[in-house]
Structure 1
Amino acid sequence: MKKITLLFSLLITFLASSQVKWMTLEEAINAQKIVPKKILINFYTDWCAPCKVMDKNTYNQPVIAAYLNENYYPVKFNAERKEKVTVFGRTFVNSDLEAGKKKNAMHDFTKYMNVNAIPSAVFLDEAGNPITILQGALSAKELEPYIPFIANNEFKKINTRAQWENYQKKFKSSIKD
């Protein structure tokens, strides 16, 4: 019985540690002021099936979750949220929703970040400036090369497609199949 309890405890600990510790955008911006880190914003909607798959299989993959938790302030942002958000000295609302124009209206912050597809991941630097956007659903293995590439500022050394392809060829995945 003690062995079963120990195994169950280890399993719970492993599962809890393999989840991304999501923050609000406001929390991430405030945390950045204390300890500068990059921000990854996961833009999603409640109805988006690929978003749910990414939550389950990409972001909750242990290697991805651990890396994001350690090196980024990970943010989940509902691209159709109703609530206002105040960041970067501005207040963003869902103006189309407020005006009654659209049922599934994109939030103005979503538009401000140039998100045109859901799911999308937007990377911000330590000052809150956009670095890049990855649009569409990605598997854990597809996302993995980007997160250290951006976290370690390797993107600043890449100027051509050939350099990016060379980086990808040399990248060694930590994800076991």
Structure 2
Amino acid sequence: MNTISNKIICISSLLFLVFGSFAIQAQEVTWLSWAEAVKLAETDKNPKKIFVDVYTDWCGWCKKMDKDTFQNPEVASYMEKNFYMVKLDGEGKEPIEFKGKTFKFVASGRSGYHEFAAALMQGKLSYPTTIFLDEKLNMLSPVPGYQKPDAFLQIATYFGDDIHKQKKWDEYVNAKK
């Protein structure tokens, strides 16, 4: 009986270590609404830049990027420190106010799109698309497509650390090689 108890304890401990390590690896980020991020950018004494993840519920690459990229501990930590992070449904139905204009959902085909998402993506409805804005809500760049953690972090630091003010993207990427 003692041997069985020891085996159960050993197996339980092993399972705890295995599943516990998965929990440690994934890191959650704090996602804000557009209105919350704008308010923070306007009221914080030291505002951060804004990052917008434009997604749809049906987008498999969006879900993969959520899981693989945004929950990566290094990515999540950097983004939390340097950006207000916004999740924006590219097919969301709620109106969004920005710079005196109301952006709405536009029905099209079986679904539709949100005018604000389309404006941020510069008319190219591609999911996922990540958008980087400066502290004053000016567009830095939309970045279409799925990005693995390392590639995403390189893009995020380019804008987050203001490298884009001194170097063109090609210079920055080639200097990293």
TM-score (normalizing by structure 2) = 0.81
After TM superposition, the structure 1 = structure 2 runs for residues 1-177 of structure 1, keeping only pairs within 5 Å, are 14=24, 18-35=27-44, 36-94=47-105, 96-97=106-107, 101-113=108-120, 114=122, 116=124, 117-159=126-168, 161=170, 163-169=171-177
Q: Against the structure 1 CA distance between its residues 73 and 82, is the aligned structure 2 distance closer, same or farther, given a 3 Å change threshold?
A: same
In structure 2, distance between residues paired with 1:134 and 1:160:
12
Larger radius of gyration: 2
In structure 2, distance between residues paired with 1:13 and 1:118:
27
**How many pairs were matched up?**
161
Deviation at 1:155, TM superposition (A): 0.5
Paired-residue identity, %: 29
Q: Against the structure 1 CA distance between its residues 140 and 93, is the aligned structure 2 distance closer, same or farther, given a 3 Å change threshold?
A: same
Give yes or no for contact 1:145–1:168 (8 Å, CA) kept in 2: no
Structure 1 residues without counterparts, runs of 5 or longer: 170-177
- Write out per-residue CA displacement over residues 69-123 of structure 1, whole angstroms, 9 at most, x where no aligned residue: 11100100000001111122221101x22xxx43221100011111521100000
Deviation above 6 Å: which 4+ runs of structure 1? none
Q: Which amino acid aligns with 2:143?
A: L
Q: Against the structure 1 CA distance between its residues 152 and 160, is the aligned structure 2 distance closer, same or farther, given a 3 Å change threshold?
A: closer
- Write out per-residue CA displacement over residues 47-69 of structure 1, whole angstroms, 9 at most, x where no aligned residue: 00000000000111111011111
- Write out per-residue CA displacement over residues 6-48 of structure 1, whole angstroms, 9 at most, x where no aligned residue: 979x7698467x1111001110000111221101100000000
Q: Which amino acid aligns with 2:127?
A: I
Structure 2 residues without counterparts, runs of 5 or longer: 1-8
Q: Which amino acid aligns with 2:48?
A: K
Give yes or no for contact 2:25–2:72 (8 Å, CA) kept in 1: no
Which structure shows the bigger proportion of residues in strand conformation?
2
TM-score (normalizing by structure 1) = 0.81
In structure 1, distance between residues paired with 2:69 and 2:123:
19
